[in-house]
Amino acid sequence: MPEKIIKSADRVKDIGEVFTPKKIVNLMLDQPEITEKINVLNSTFLEPSAGEGAFLVELLKRKLQVAKEKSNGIEEMQNNFLLALSTLYGIELMQDNVEMLVINMVNTFRDVYFNTFSHEDQNQKVLKSANVIISANMAQGNALTRKTNTGEPIIFSEWKPLPKGKVQRTEYTFDSIVEGGNATGTVQSEFEQLDLFAEPDENDPKEADNKNYAACLWEDIYKKKIE
Ligand SMILES: C[S@@+](CC[C@H](N)C(=O)[O-])C[C@H]1O[C@@H](n2cnc3c(N)ncnc32)[C@H](O)[C@@H]1O
């Protein structure tokens, strides 16, 4: 079946939606400077107009291959699979595209995972944590205004590897990352700043998100434990 690269003429006109064919994606990712980055396990990629994931899905396949090659032992490889996944970020405007983007990332991770690890080494916690990483890293919103479709700031998580197979998750606004991301751009510190001027409102979904994640094992990310 030929690849579908447009959904409708209106969408091409309104939002410039034309999906990149696999062959072109591969040609672009084969560029030496890109390959060099892919080979560094913790190098990050952001696709600000992600569509259904033409680039992110192929990047994920390539990064998982690197994780396989660079790991010693099953446990390290499983951690490195999650690390590789955590380095890929996407923003996409259209809800139907984001849904397909998430499905495509989940299915790609699972396919490679099941083809890599034997039945007895497969760990449901890793798969559940992969789903949490994907939903945190794939944002629906406008990359130009840096806001979601409900006007909230787009938020991304940093997944920082720690010794002993652990990871520290920290949330930043996309705004602060673009403007040179530093500690003042963490979601936590923004809300602390707001608290100086307003009573905390527990019904405000932003207040509910006011949290610091506890450092945890990669496979425990799905528990979303708060400090
Ligand atoms: C040319 S397509 C490319 C999609 C994908 N990168 C690919 O290569 O198949 C552009 C995509 O950007 C999305 N888009 C358009 N304006 C956007 C914006 N301001 N912020 C985020 N995504 C946007 C469209 O919905 C569309 O899916």
Query: Structural domain boundaries of the chain?
Result: 9-223
Give the pLDDT of residue 68: 98
Nearest-atom index, ligand 1, CA of 47: 6
Give the pLDDT of residue 181: 56
Report whether residue 94 contacts ligand 1, using a CB cutoff of 6 Å: yes
Give the pLDDT of residue 32: 98
d(CA 217, CA 15) in angstroms, rounded, equals 40
CA of 95 to the centre of ligand 1 (A): 11
Report whether residue 16 contacts ligand 1, using a CB cutoff of 6 Å: yes
Report whether residue 162 contacts ligand 1, using a CB cutoff of 6 Å: no
Report whether residue 185 contacts ligand 1, using a CB cutoff of 6 Å: no
Q: Which of 6, 7, 12, 15 to mutate to test the pocket of ligand 1 (most atoms within 8 A of CB)?
A: 15
Report whether residue 50 contacts ligand 1, using a CB cutoff of 6 Å: yes
Report whether residue 142 contacts ligand 1, using a CB cutoff of 6 Å: yes
Per-residue pLDDT 10s for the chain (227 aa) are: 678 888 888 888 888 888 899 999 999 999 999 999 999 999 999 999 999 999 999 999 999 999 999 999 999 999 999 999 999 999 999 999 999 999 999 999 999 999 999 999 999 999 999 999 999 999 999 999 999 999 999 999 999 999 999 999 999 999 999 998 554 456 655 544 443 434 444 454 444 455 799 999 999 999 999 99
Task: Read off the pTM.
Answer: 0.89
- Residue whose Cα lies nearest atom 18 of ligand 1: it is 142
Give the pLDDT of residue 187: 66
Give the pLDDT of residue 37: 97
C-alpha distances (whole Å) from 88 to each of 14, 58, 62, 195, 221 are 27, 11, 12, 32, 16
d(CA 207, CA 219) in angstroms, rounded, equals 27
Q: Which residues of 208-227 are buried (b: 16+ CB within 10 A; e: fewer)?
A: eebeebeebbbbbbbeeeee
